[in-house]
Amino acid sequence: MFKVLVSDPISDLGIQKLVDADDVVVEKKIGLSEEELIQIIPEYDGLLVRSQTTVTDKILAAGERLKVVGRAGVGVDNINLEAATQRGIIVINAPDGNTITTCEHAFAMMMALARHIPQAYAKTVSGVWDRKSFLGVELHHKTLGVLGMGRIGSEVAKRAKAFGMEVLGFDPFLTEERAEKMGITLASVDDIVRNADFITVHTPLTPETRGIISTDQFAVMKKGMRIINCARGGVIDENALVEAVNQGIVAGAAFDVFEHEPPQPDHPFLNNPKIIVTPHLGASTVEAQENVAIDVSEQVLHILRDEPFKNAVNIPPVAPSVMSKLQPYFVLGEKLGTVAAQITNAAIQEIVVNYAGDLSEVDTQPLTRHILKGVLSRHFGSDVNIVNSMHLAKARQVNIVVSKSATTKGFTNLISVALKLENGEESIVGGTLLAGYGERIVQINKFTVDLEPTGHLIYISHHDKPGIIGKVGTLLGNNDVNIAAMQVGRKTVGGEAIMVLSVDKEVPKKVLEELVQLPEVNTAQEIALLSK
């Protein structure tokens, strides 16, 4: 049974699928401190959050069973991604559900700014009928600068066009062609700050976007401009903004987000009549909350059940077309990695993966992560997974080399995993997926084999001598170990050879020791394969 903790207010309707799942228990505990979370997190396999819970390294470290952190929303700046990756914890978000809601909030903020709605409301309900103080401006024919033309920024730009605004957009990924299609002008940050009547920011908070609007940018702005931040506190420098408002450069500012949330009661935004604020409400609509919760619950369920999932933020995204090509090879890749690691005892210095045939034309990085997981699982056990396998290898100074080649040795696809070892030797395992027949190991070190990697395998290296097969068979038979299949490989008559036996049950250690006592046998070891 999986246990999932919901530590922020997340839509009940949205997480219904998770609650209804027979193999999941969902518990809601809102508003816990870091210490309280550290105390209880060891029980849980999944954690669902919004932006209030700060998911620290200490919480992740305490989460012994934690497999996934699901963010019911977009921004993951409240989650220590680096620590999650190191610990092999998958972090997913719900990238689409908050787009329209946040766009509409930003637009509402822009209109509220243009017409002083919050200030006029406060005065009116206080009993003062004041029509003189609130002379507004129209949006029509004004220039709107949008910094960050992703999902939300693009929706804001679309609506601004409908209001008759001229839109200047900046985003490192915005091309001239796309800007033209949207009917907006591709501009630099400098163009925007010099020419816009309104500016709205829609970027994540990154080292690059922190303070993207600060003192230098305010200094060259049009006097009387207005500015909106419904993205993240810190994208617009808070102190620089207050100064620009006080200097009359900024006629009005609307902020939904703060550098520290909630802000202290003496925060300068909270008593400035030209600055309007909301308590991080961008995503707070019924529709969005349901959608992000549904989205994240579905993916959490997939992850807990070891099924394919999407929206991971600490694994590079993969196009569905590429994923469907790679998926069939994941288990084979992991098995090749695990076999390569088990047929040697020497330390690994480099892992060289070669893809040939069908696999040479696709982005194989996700498959490489599975192979690395297989290699490292010998020493890391269940602590290694596809999220941290690359990281763990690099952290141990194991070099990873991936190559593609046209030579397939007659197979339609071929994966070769070569471990370069400290003692100068190599441990090589090659495999293929045969249409209609499934997985096959076709090479072990320098020997060609044809082996189905299932069940229990025994790997024996020996000298090729008449009678050795009989001796091994008798020894195993005497110990009640039944042989299901056997493969023998040799390069020369009477030379070095290998034997790989598929047996029906786990082989006791003492039997392996007896095998090594046979004069022709050099090594005999059991190879543990994956459960599926």
Ligand X SMILES: O=C(O)C(=O)COP(=O)(O)O
Ligand Y SMILES: NC(=O)C1=CN([C@@H]2O[C@H](COP(=O)(O)OP(=O)(O)OC[C@H]3O[C@@H](n4cnc5c(N)ncnc54)[C@H](O)[C@@H]3O)[C@@H](O)[C@H]2O)C=CC1
Q: Give catalytic residue positions.
A: 232, 261, 280
HSE, side-chain direction, 13 A CA sphere, residue 128: 11
What token pair was written down for 350? 């480099």
Query: In angstroms, what is the minimal distance from the CB of 92 to ligand X?
Result: 13
Which 273-292 residues touch ligand X, going by CB under 6 A? 280, 282-284
What token pair was written down for 358? 């069908």
Determine which residue in the list 46, 148, 337, 374 makes contact with ligand Y, applying CB under 6 A: 148
In total, the chain counts a number of residues equal to 532
Query: In angstroms, what is the minimal distance from the CB of 141 to ligand Y?
Result: 25
Q: Is 202 in the site for ligand Y (CB under 6 A)?
A: yes
Q: Which residues contact 116 (CB under 8 A, 6 or more apart)?
A: 133, 134, 136, 252
Q: Which of these ranges, 170-178, 220-228, 268-276, 313-321, lies near ligand Y under the rule CB under 6 A? A: 170-178
Determine which residue in the list 51, 143, 209, 377 makes contact with ligand X, applying CB under 6 A: 51
Q: Is 373 in the site for ligand Y (CB under 6 A)?
A: no
Specify the residue, 77 or 496, whose C-beta has the smaller distance to ligand Y: 77
Determine which residue in the list 98, 299, 338, 427 makes contact with ligand X, applying CB under 6 A: 98
Q: Is 151 in the site for ligand Y (CB under 6 A)?
A: yes
Determine which residue in the list 11, 93, 143, 209 makes contact with ligand Y, applying CB under 6 A: 209
Residue 209 binding: pick among ligand Y, ligand X, none (C-beta 5-8 Å cut-off by kind)? ligand Y
Query: In angstroms, what is the minimal distance from the CB of 200 to ligand Y?
Result: 11
Cis peptide before 262, with omega less than 30 degrees from 0? yes
Q: Is 74 in the site for ligand X (CB under 6 A)?
A: yes
Specify the residue, 280 or 335, whose C-beta has the smaller distance to ligand Y: 280
> How many Cβ atoms from other residues are within 10 Å of residue 418's Cβ?
19
CA angle 453, 455, 458 (to 5 degrees): 80
Query: In angstroms, what is the minimal distance from the CB of 283 to ligand X?
Result: 4
Please give the full DSSP string across 389-451, using - where no structure is assigned: HHHHHHHTT-EEEEEEES--TT-SEEEEEEEEETTS-EEEEEEEEETTTEEEEEEETTEEEEE
Residue 50 binding: pick among ligand X, ligand Y, none (C-beta 5-8 Å cut-off by kind)? ligand X
The secondary structure of residue 452, as a DSSP letter, is -
Pick from 193, 244, 255, 250: nearest CA to 225 = 250
Unique residue bearing structure tokens 């200094």? 219
Binding residues vs ligand Y (CB under 6 A): 73-75, 98-99, 102, 147-153, 170-173, 202-204, 206, 208-209, 212, 230-232, 256-257, 280, 282-283
